[in-house]
Amino acid sequence: MSGAPDYGRAFGLMRAAAGDVWRDYTRHAFVEGMKDGTLPREAFLHYLRQDYVFLVHFSRAWALAVVKSETHEEMLLASATVNGLISEEMKLHIGICAEAGISQDELFATPERPENLAYTRFVLEAGYSGDLLSLLAALAPCVMGYGEIGVRLSDEATSETYRDWINTYAGDEYQGSVRAVGELLDGALARRLGDSYDQLPRWDGLCQTFNMATQLEVGFWQMGMTP
C-alpha cells in the first residue's frame, strides 16, 4: 500500500501474504475511533488496562527472544526491546490510567480477557516450541502494525482526544525501534535460511504464524470495543 512506512523486506512479504487480514487489523473500527475521537473513553481505558496485562506477557516473549538469539547483535536488540517495553511503554499505560483515576493496584489486578490470553500465549508458544524465526513471525504484527497505525493516524487524525497514544507510536523513538525489529527479522532469516528464504517450505509456516498473530490483533481490538 502506498504511503506505508518501510520496515524491511521480510515484513513486506509477510504483510502482503496476510492480505485482507492486515487491513482488518490496521483499519479496525477501534483505530478509526481513535482517529476521529469517537471511540468512547470507557472503551479506551478498558483497552489500556487489558493492554497493560498484554505487555507483561509480551515482555516475557521478548525475553524469550534473548534466549533464542544466536548472535550478540540479536541478543542486544531483543534485550533492548525488553527494556523499552518495561521501562517506557508500560509507563505510558500506568500514566494514562493514573490520570483517569485508575490506581496501579487496580491496574495490576485487571482480570485477563480470553482474547488477550489467546494472543500472548500463542506468541509465547511459538517461541517455546520454535526458533527465533517462529517467535519473530508471531511478534512482528504487533510491532510493525502499531508502527503503521501510529504514522497514519498522526497524518489523518481529526481529533486531539487520543493524541498522546498516537504520538507515542508515531514518534521517532518508536519508529526507530520498529525499523530495528525489521532489520532483526531480515538478518535472522538470512542467517538461518539464506537470502532466498521465501522460496523454502519453511516460509509458508512463518507466514501462517504472522497471519494468526494478525488475526489475534483484530480480536484484541474487538475485545477493546466491548468493555
Ligand X SMILES: Cc1ncc(C[n+]2csc(CCO)c2C)c(N)n1
Residues that bind ligand X (CB under 6 A): 51, 54-55, 58, 81, 84-85, 89, 142-143, 146, 177, 217, 220
Residues 6+ apart with CB under 8 A from 162: 34, 35, 37, 39, 44, 153
133: enclosing H helix or E strand:
helix 132-156
Q: Are 162 and 20 in contact (CB under 8 A)?
A: no
Nearest distance, CB of residue 85 and ligand X, angstroms: 5
Q: What is the number of the residue whose Cβ is closest to ligand X?
A: 142
Q: Which is nearer to ligand X, 26 or 203 (by Cβ)?
A: 26
Q: Which is nearer to ligand X, 159 or 168 (by Cβ)?
A: 168
Nearest distance, CB of residue 55 and ligand X, angstroms: 6
Q: Which is nearer to ligand X, 85 or 157 (by Cβ)?
A: 85
Rounded Cα gap, residues 38 and 162, in angstroms: 10
Q: Which is nearer to ligand X, 33 or 203 (by Cβ)?
A: 33
Rounded Cα gap, residues 225 and 127, in angstroms: 29
Q: Which is nearer to ligand X, 2 or 6 (by Cβ)?
A: 6
Nearest distance, CB of residue 56 and ligand X, angstroms: 10
Nearest distance, CB of residue 185 and ligand X, angstroms: 13
Nearest distance, CB of residue 62 and ligand X, angstroms: 7
Rounded Cα gap, residues 191 and 97, in angstroms: 42
The grid coordinates of residue 45 equal: 481505558
Residues 6+ apart with CB under 8 A from 72: none
